[in-house]
Amino acid sequence: MFGIFKKNKALTESLAIATTIAQTQILIGLPIDFYDSHFNTEFTNGYIFGLLQASYETTEKKDNQRKKLKHIENGYDVLFDNCSPIFFRSALSSLNNSDEFQEGQHAGVRDFVEFKNKTLARPTRLKNYLDTLAN
């Protein structure tokens, strides 16, 4: 299912947690008629990238950039299916060039880490952002 992570149960579980956090907030945070026009923002892409980044970094102690990027790409595949290469490449190009992307990335990292450490019961930073767009 997750390519090179089949044998690493902890990474597979961590990725599943991250994608579930994102999917839940997307489903409850954005009315369907706003989906196309409001979902594809730098903040949203940064948030998802940050969630997936944190799911790798909090699980895998060795910093292997290639494996980390593959892990993040696998998360985009789970979330966006056929559109994943577009969102993933957009994330990579925005990584150091967009304040909004970096704000979203930090929010995603915080949500994942706080949720994993049980200091946050419900990650909502993406939902809260999406709510501001829908109003």
Tens digit of each residue's pLDDT (9 = 90 or more) over 112-126: 999 999 999 999 999
**In which domain, by residue range, is 107 found?**
7-134
Q: Does residue 60 belong to any structural domain of this protein?
A: yes
**Residue 98 has what pLDDT?**
86
18 pLDDT higher than 90: yes
Q: Is residue 73 part of a domain?
A: yes
- Give the model's pLDDT for residue 78: 87
Whole-number Å distance between alpha carbons of 135 and 130: 9
Question: How many structural domains compose the chain?
Answer: 1
Q: 41 and 100 in contact (C-beta within 8 Å)?
A: yes
2 belongs to a structural domain: no
Given a contact cutoff of 8 angstroms between Cβ atoms, the answer to whether 113 and 58 are in contact is yes
Rounded to the nearest integer, the mean pLDDT of the chain is 83
Instruction: Report which of residues 52 and 35 the model is more confident about.
Output: 52
Please give the average per-residue pLDDT across 34-60, as a whole number. 84
